[in-house]
Amino acid sequence: METEKAAVPQLTMKENIIQTVKFFAISASAGVLQFGIYTLLTEALKWKHWPCYCIALMCSIVYNNLINRKYTFKSSANIWVTLAKICALYVVWVPLSTWVNAAITESITDPERYHTVRYICEIATLLINGVVCWAWYRFVVYRNSINSAVETETQTDTQPTE
């Protein structure tokens, strides 16, 4: 007995461009959230780089997934399944990026340069994370469920009411 494999939605070039712009606009707002939380923890609490980065990143991940799921990918995929797939990415990304950023920032001995380098690392990591996330969300997490929430809505609207 063969199981049916879900068809990968085919988007037009215009739909792909719109989707990409939406993703990066929402991700930019998640980046602002992450940078704000990072700055608050860094400046107000004077914590080391890695706990500030990890806490800010976790807040950004949850926000980014929830908003992009609804507005960019319009997916009806199970939210827990999507979060599990995203966690699979971040199981690798968080330790790797935390280690690299900590190695760079902890090697700076000049206090004036240290502060600047921390923020350069944070911004560079945000940019790299945005590109990696786009590919992961588009081709792994939401691959088979793009616009499925719209299709479900349309089917519900066209069914006769009793």
Stretch 132-161: mean pLDDT: 79
Q: Which two tokens stand for residue 66?
A: 């929830």
pLDDT digits 0-9 by tens, 69-111: 999 999 999 989 998 999 999 999 889 988 888 888 888 888 8
pLDDT digits 0-9 by tens, 27-68: 999 999 999 999 999 999 999 888 998 899 899 989 999 999
Among 70, 75, 60, smallest CA distance to 130 is for 60
Global pTM? 0.75
Distance in angstroms (rounded) separating the CA atoms of residues 27 and 65: 9
